[in-house]
Structure 1
């Protein structure tokens, strides 16, 4: 595919720009696609504050979700949408119809499977009288309420899918075909807290789309996180979210299935 080298006529600085490969894992190509996506979405945002809300799936469901990705990723979107819309319409919280964007992310910085949804929620909405009602500085629904509502929604529909025979089970997950085992799994998931996160983070409406664009067109490992590469391994930096976001390094063996190998 080749590329081009640019040189500054004053200082002699060189910069290489490679031709587009159109690969979804390429940082250069995805950067252009992100800019195009953001530009096309600008018409969808309002000049108002937004919140960042994250919905995370429990580890106990990871295997089943991985085996039924299209069906259960769609269910994540469905459960998130119903959770936000139903709670926001409740006068106990906001009493208005809100707007939001949602983006699915399926890995963490350490590249472990970690399905979760990032949602950008408008800080206010329209009442039944078609009047604008602004939210307070804090998100209008508590994290505990969000988590429990989302948990209930997702598990309710998951049980319906099981009864309808829509779920596939492979390898070690085949045991969940058994009705009693599957019910035990649901009971376990009902008994634990599901992680949700809310924060008012955006500085103006355009920043909302820039933030979303980084998720819709993000690759697994960006160039600035790569520390070293040799014939056998790749080492990159990660943040340990379970340990106060402390920085650490991860080294993986390169293989035919590894992105970029």
Structure 2
């Protein structure tokens, strides 16, 4: 029930922590680019909200000059952990004050504040990786991780009438058997609400900062940003089954003639069953 507001707080707190540390003269004194992705699961499908942040190896300072990061790490682990913890706690308290959080029925507001204060004295988990040589490889890895969702089909080892068995190990196989109802419950826990933006771009990578990004790319000897070519459905289908792009009757190429709008409350009573979001195609 708090999925969207907690995702917002986690993403924004991560962004602000990175910017504050990066802009400090003790660090690089410049604003980098960030691609941040929110994840809500761990390997056993239990809730584990966290963000993955890909950060450029430098940024633009106030004079519009590119500044490269110093050393193999962007900033110290201890500094990031303490600053992030403070920003998260402060944001959660403000959300509570504005009635944006829904607390459990048996928890009072003061109990929630006491819990935050207690957690604020603990050590939080912030992991900072070394600088990568190939940023495109890291971005590709994250993209595949996002597309896969909470669990990949290859991790499911057995399905019976009552249970689902899947692998939740990382380097070695560890099997977990869950009742069907529990497996479905855990999956549904990670379904984001409508219009929740869980992958965001900040700093140099923000949509409104393409000019700054091109300045940085020029400094590094790279070309201007080019928008990726729009992939047609025919191109996507050809990779899996080229025969599906042609009419099975006449053999001519299929073309898009109509798109049925996806399901919504207003169209619930008027839409024929099984047609929501379908693409209707016809041959020349």
Same fold (TM over 0.5): yes
Residue 248 (1) aligns with residue 174 (2): yes
The structure number with the bigger radius of gyration is: 2
Q: Please give the secondary structure, in 2, of the residue aligned with 1:255.
A: helix
Q: How high is the TM-score relative to the length of structure 1?
A: 0.65
**Partner of residue 118 from structure 2, selected from 188, 203, 206:** 188
Cα displacement (A) at 1:187: 1.1
Aligned match of 1:119: 53
Residue in 2 that maps onto 1:33: none
| CA distance in structure 2 between the partners assigned to 1:256 and 1:248 by the alignment | 18
How far apart, in 2, do the equivalents of 1:175 and 1:231 lie?
A: 36
Quote the RMSD (CA, aligned, Å).
Answer: 2.2
- Contact conserved, 1:103 with 1:215, CA < 8 A, in 2? no
Q: Which residue of 1 aligns with 2:149?
A: 219
Q: CA deviation at 1:136?
A: 3.1
Q: Which runs of 4+ in 1 moved over 6 A?
A: none
Could you say which residue in structure 2 is the equivalent of 1:50?
none
Local SS of the residue matching 2:90: helix
The answer to whether the aligner puts 1:174 opposite 2:105 as a matched pair is yes
* Residues 227 and 237, structure 1, Cα contact 8 Å, conserved in 2: yes
Change (3 A) 1:165 1:255: closer
Alignment of 1:101-180 (within 5 A): 101-169=35-103, 173-179=104-110
CA shift, 1:203, in A, is 4.8
Q: TM-score, normalised by structure 2?
A: 0.60
Alignment map for 1:1-261 (pairs within 5 Å): 67-169=1-103, 173-179=104-110, 181-200=111-130, 202-239=132-169, 247-255=173-181, 258=184
Structure 1 or 2: larger strand share?
Answer: 1
8 Å CA contact retained: 2:73, 2:131: no
- The gaps in structure 1 that reach 5 residues or longer are 1-66
Note the C-alpha offset of 1:108.
0.4
Count of residue correspondences:
186
Structure with larger RCO (C-alpha < 8 A, sep 6+): 1
Q: 1:185 to 1:138 in 2, by over 3 A?
A: same
SS in 2 for 1:166: coil
Find the aligned partners of 2:52 and 2:75 in 1 and give their Cα distance: 16
CA distance, structure 2, for counterparts of residue 249 and residue 109 of structure 1:
11
CA distance in 1, matches of 2:143, 2:131: 15
Equivalent in the alignment of 1:64: none
